[in-house]
Structure 1
Amino acid sequence: MPNPRLAGRYAKSILGLSLETNQLEQVYNDMLFLQQVCKASREFVAVLRSPVIKADKKLGVLQSVTQGKVQDITSGFIKLLVSKGRESNLPEIITAFVEQYKAHKGIYTIKLTTAAPVSEEIKQAIIAKVQEQTSMKLIEMETAVNEALIGGFVLELGDTLVDGSIAYDLNKVKAQFMNNDFIYKIR
């Protein structure tokens, strides 16, 4: 069962430890590696979450996957999670760590959804415009394609949504017709 509060606490502790030991970038890369492993293998996550599999077996699986690929600090953190019985929360802890890392570095993630794939020039132009219009200076962009938009784009900036899609405009026109906004009410 996901526990965001617990994940946040463990992520904060590994972030603090990595800052103290000047290994923040290395631990961040380790967490990205582990995140890719979790996304690529549902069986791996199932093993971590299984109440039937013993902790020493889970630790063996984790060590075989990470051996020689992660820093000692990350390896020690994984051992701590297993000893505390929190290995099932590893995917959530990784996500929380990445979020806290980005917050610490001042990196913002924006999401651009379009009806068709966009070029790198357009992406860079949008990033430049967002940097110009907001206080966001370090920006990572996620892109997605949704053909239901018909055309235009949807841009998510944290809690702000900019919907410049044709589908949105068509839905507004449809709502106006359904309300009979174009028929004068004579009485």
Structure 2
Amino acid sequence: MVNPRLAGRYAKSLIDIAVEKNVLEAIKADVAFLLSAINSSPELKGLLRSPIIKADKKTGVMDAICKGRVNAITEVFCRLLISKSRENALPEILGAFNEQYNVLKGIQQVKITTAQPLSEEVKASLLSKLKADTGFDKVELKTSVKEELIGGFILEYNNNLVDASIQRDLRDIKRQFQNNDYVFNIR
């Protein structure tokens, strides 16, 4: 497990350099690219986490992935992580970068989980309602589908959880019957 403070410090360094060099948006795009590459390739994730594979091999693989696709700052940053034996923390550092970027830009992350995929019209309606109710200016909406919810939704933002799913309602009803809440009131 990677220390979150370590990931946060490296991410802050990358953001500071990107702001100083006026390439923050380019680095943000690089971070998205690298996260996508790592998350879509278990082999790459394994390579980064492996203590057996030598640093020069890891540098060669990362150079091949980054060459011509990312900013020079991002390339140097990846090489720095490998030279410091911190490449195993790259996914966490990239995640921390995204969190710090959102704080810097005032973007609120909102995750909604539904039983069925949301249409663009429903997403737009949900965003406008959320902005009106919470006062958020910028919202980044992430959607996911979990069929076991049956219906309704689960909304997560700023450490808040709104569970308006049918699955939760059924769990609540089951618990009430197991506790015999209604038997007591009948007598």
TM-score interval (norm. to shorter): over 0.9
CA RMSD of aligned residues (A): 1.5
- Which residue does 1:159 correspond to in 2? 159
- Which residue does 2:171 correspond to in 1? 171
- Which residue does 2:23 correspond to in 1? 23
- The within-5 A match list for 1:92-107 is 92-107=92-107
CA distance in 2, matches of 1:167, 1:83: 49
CA distance in 1, matches of 2:163, 2:52: 47
Shift of 1:185: 6.5
SS, match of residue 51 in structure 1: coil
- Which residue does 1:142 correspond to in 2? 142
Shift of 1:28: 0.6
What per-residue deviation string (whole Å, max 9, x for no partner) do you get for residues 89-141 of structure 1? 11111111111111111111111111112211111111111100113211111
CA distance in 2, matches of 1:91, 1:171: 35
SS, match of residue 22 in structure 2: coil
AA of the residue aligned to 1:95: G
CA distance in 1, matches of 2:162, 2:168: 11
Per mean C-alpha deviation after superposition, the further-off stretch among 149-158 and 35-44 is: 149-158
Between the aligned residues of both structures, percent identity stands at 49
SS, match of residue 52 in structure 1: coil
CA distance in 1, matches of 2:146, 2:52: 41
CA distance in 2, matches of 1:17, 1:130: 34
AA of the residue aligned to 1:97: F
What per-residue deviation string (whole Å, max 9, x for no partner) do you get for residues 36-87 of structure 1? 1101111112112222222112111110110000111111111211221212
- Which residue does 1:59 correspond to in 2? 59
SS, match of residue 52 in structure 2: coil
Consecutive unaligned residues of structure 2, counting only runs of 5 or more, are: none
- Which residue does 1:108 correspond to in 2? 108
SS, match of residue 164 in structure 1: strand
AA of the residue aligned to 1:109: Q
Taking structure 1 as reference, are residues 164 and 74 closer, same or farther at Cα in structure 2, changes over 3 Å only?
Answer: same
Report the TM-score when normalising by structure 1: 0.93
Q: Give aligned pairs, total.
A: 186
CA distance in 2, matches of 1:78, 1:145: 33
- Which residue does 2:181 correspond to in 1? 181
User: Is 1:4 matched with 2:4?
Assistant: yes
SS, match of residue 182 in structure 1: helix
The 4+ residue runs of structure 1 with deviation greater than 3 A are none
Taking structure 1 as reference, are residues 185 and 3 closer, same or farther at Cα in structure 2, changes over 3 Å only?
Answer: same
- Which residue does 2:36 correspond to in 1? 36
AA of the residue aligned to 1:2: V
CA distance in 1, matches of 2:25, 2:130: 26
